[in-house]
Amino acid sequence: MVELKNELLTIKVAEMGAELQSVKDNNGREYMWQAGEKWPRHSPILFPIVCSVNKDTYTVDGKEYHLPRHGFARDTMFTLVRQTPEKVTMALHDSEETLKVYPYKFNLAITYRLEGNKIHVIWHVENTDTKEIHFQIGGHPAFNTPSGKLDGIIKLDNEEPMDSLKSYIDGSHEMTEIPLEADMGIMEISNNLFRDDSVKIHKCQTHRAMLIDTNGEPAVTVDYKCPVIAFWSPFDKQAPFVCIEPWYGLGDPRGFKGEFKDKPLMNHLQPGASFMSKYTITIG
């Protein structure tokens, strides 16, 4: 476990999955869900897929491969590359094991950087193969609700009517657009909000989500530029956390049978090329 600290925040990052596992302010208040039976994770890295492929199976050049939901990065040990008091970078490279389930060579680096009350989460994917590679990547940070119950509100930076994707409790979805359950950019957190699994907003309709505390102030703000932002808490478990998930990708739509490269919101890299993006968590 790696610890970073400044005058306002202390965070902990595990080398397993390069997972952010703790965010505390200088009063010792914990903002990250601390795992448990209602959900055993904190903030997994989603790579090389987001959500699921149909029946955990996908096709590259006619050959079938198998990946579990959200891919393998979250359950793989990363290597510590560099650490300073306020910044850490961890990396994952292709291996014999990854090539069995994902037939591409790559470097994946995850950086966490503290800046005041902000945590910058930076993703860097490099194609080290001799052919074009295809991938998706996303974040899945789980934040404790300010009340300690599954309630409260999420305020988005777009007050206009927005659409979300039609989802199902098994985690699948259709590309059909339905009205987002929000009024002037405000979503009420409740078990019912997650009756169809996650709420998925695509087409870059919003770039900021704020988890509002009981005084009407933002407890946690997440800023992102990705094409999809998802919100999730496990249905019918009354778990006192909400995941705010920036995604560069989507799972297979129901009935999808195409090649891996043709999945919705797939990212493509030519040999030697790289992809970089980030999202930012602000506390208070």
Instruction: Inform me whether the pLDDT recorded for 49 exceeds 90.
Output: yes
For residue 194, the model assigns a pLDDT of: 96
Q: Is the pLDDT of residue 169 over 90?
A: no
What pLDDT sits at residue 166?
A: 94
- Maximum alpha-carbon separation in the chain: 55
Separation between Cα atoms, residue 31 and residue 12, nearest integer Å: 12
> Which pLDDT score is estimated for 245?
98
Task: Kindly tell me if the per-residue pLDDT of 87 is higher than 90.
Answer: yes
Quick check: 59 pLDDT over 90?
yes
Residue range of the domain that includes 207: 2-283
Judged against a pLDDT cut of 90, whether residue 135 lies above it is answered with: yes
Task: Calculate ∠ Cα 186-183-46, nearest 5°.
Answer: 45
pLDDT above 90 for 184: yes
Domain count of the chain?
1
Alpha-carbon separation of residue 160 from 138, 182, 185, 247 (angstroms): 25, 9, 7, 21
The stretch 51-60 carries a mean pLDDT of 94
Instruction: Give, as one character, the DSSP assignment of residue 47.
Output: B
pLDDT category at 267 given cuts 50, 70, 90 is very high
- The mean pLDDT value of the chain amounts to 96
**What does the pLDDT read at residue 171?**
78
Averaged pLDDT for residues 263-271: 96
Q: For residue 226, is pLDDT > 90?
A: yes
Q: What is the CATH number of the domain that holds 58?
A: 2.70.98.10
Confidence at residue 12, expressed as pLDDT on a 0 to 100 scale: 98
pLDDT at 260: 97
**Has this prediction a pTM greater than 0.95?**
yes
pLDDT of residue 170: 81
Strands 228-232 and 57-60: unpaired
**What CA–CA distance (Å, rounded) separates 120 from 141?**
13
Structure confidence at residue 280 as a pLDDT band (50, 70, 90): very high
Looking at residue 83, the DSSP 8-state letter turns out to be E
Confidence of residue 176 (pLDDT cuts 50, 70, 90): very high
Banded model confidence at residue 110, pLDDT cuts 50, 70, 90: very high
* pLDDT of 255 over the 90 cut: no
Residue 267, token pair as written in the block: 């990212």
Looking at residue 214, its pLDDT comes to 87
Average pLDDT over residues 120-129: 98
> How many CB atoms within 10 Å of residue 162?
19
pLDDT band at 89; cut points 50, 70, 90: very high
List, in sequence order, every residue forming a beta bridge with 123; answer none if it has no partner.
110, 277
Q: Are 180 and 196 in contact (CB under 8 A)?
A: no
Whether the per-residue pLDDT at 81 is higher than 90: the answer is yes
Residue 223: the pLDDT is 98
